[in-house]
Amino acid sequence: MKKIELEIVALSHSITQTHSYAVVLGEINGLRRLPIVIGGFEAQAIAVALERMNPSRPLTHDLMKNFMLAFNVELHEIVINDLQEGIFYSKLVCSSSSDTVEIDSRTSDALALAVRFGCPIYTYENILDQAGVLMEDDQRKASAGAPVTTETGSKDNLKTMSLEELNTLLNEVLEHEDYIRAIAIRDEIKSREKK
């Protein structure tokens, strides 16, 4: 089967499930999107890596990357290889000096590692046919080159806060390691500093 390369195009709160997030993968040079519901911890792990934030202590996926590097294991790619009853299944394609292996993984964990290693993300045509969403060509042109977005439900709240209040809040959420909220606050601060 031919593999189709994907990239992370968005990360936001899930509309369908409370306390969950959705990561949206987009077909490279294509119009299809693959939304995947993931947990809050995994969303945070992906957001931290996408935004190149440095937590004070390594997150679980950072630990896994450090472990793999310490033992000379390379992550070449991840493949979202199955979809059963709404659950996506993935594998990590890894190699050491002596062997190449495929390791079963939750898709959310595989994506968090892919972002850290900078490796490609693939799926198959049948999975895009089952769960993909076709994006209109004019929507794709409008979003071309747009950065990956992280959404929180309280953006309107941020707009009413002063710059000093935003900086204080940013420090508080970073202390609590709420990196997704920190990204939204940082983006609001940056947008005001540009004005």
Of the two residues 44 and 179, the one the predictor is more confident about is 44
Q: Do 147 and 162 belong together in one domain?
A: no
The pLDDT value recorded for residue 114 is 97
**Nearest partner of 45 among 130, 128, 106, judged by Cα:** 106
Q: Do 13 and 94 belong together in one domain?
A: yes
The pLDDT value recorded for residue 153 is 44
Q: Do 147 and 159 belong together in one domain?
A: no
pLDDT over 90 at 77, yes or no: yes
Q: Do 62 and 129 belong together in one domain?
A: yes
Task: List CB contacts of 73: < 8 A, sequence separation 6 or more.
Answer: 94, 95, 96
Question: Dmax over Cα atoms in the chain, in whole Å?
Answer: 57
Give the C-alpha separation, 127 to 123, whole Å.
7
Q: At what angle do helices 60-70 and 107-117 cross, to 10 degrees?
A: 60
Q: Hey, what long-range contacts does 97-102 have (CB within 8 A, 24 or more apart)? A: 97/72, 100/76
Residue 103 φ then ψ, to 5°: -115, 130
pLDDT tens profile 14-28: 655 666 788 999 999
Quote the mean pLDDT of the chain.
84
The pLDDT value recorded for residue 195 is 74
Give the C-alpha separation, 9 to 24, whole Å.
6
Q: Do 23 and 53 belong together in one domain?
A: yes
Q: Do 68 and 139 belong together in one domain?
A: yes
Residues of the domain holding 44 = 3-151
Query: Which CATH number goes with the domain that contains 32?
Result: 3.10.690.10
Q: DSSP for 87-146?
A: EEEEEEEEE-SS-EEEEEEEHHHHHHHHHHHT--EEEEHHHHHHH-EEPPHHHHHHHTTP
Q: Do 108 and 137 belong together in one domain?
A: yes
pLDDT tens profile 149-194: 444 444 458 888 888 888 888 778 777 666 667 777 777 787 888 7
pLDDT tens profile 102-130: 999 999 999 999 999 999 999 999 999 99
Tokens 């292996």 locate to 101
Q: Do 84 and 174 belong together in one domain?
A: no
Indicate the pTM of the whole model: 0.73
Q: Do 63 and 82 belong together in one domain?
A: yes
Q: Do 34 and 101 belong together in one domain?
A: yes
Domain count, the chain: 2
Q: Do 139 and 169 belong together in one domain?
A: no
Residue 35 φ then ψ, to 5°: -85, 135
Q: Do 49 and 111 belong together in one domain?
A: yes
The pLDDT value recorded for residue 82 is 97
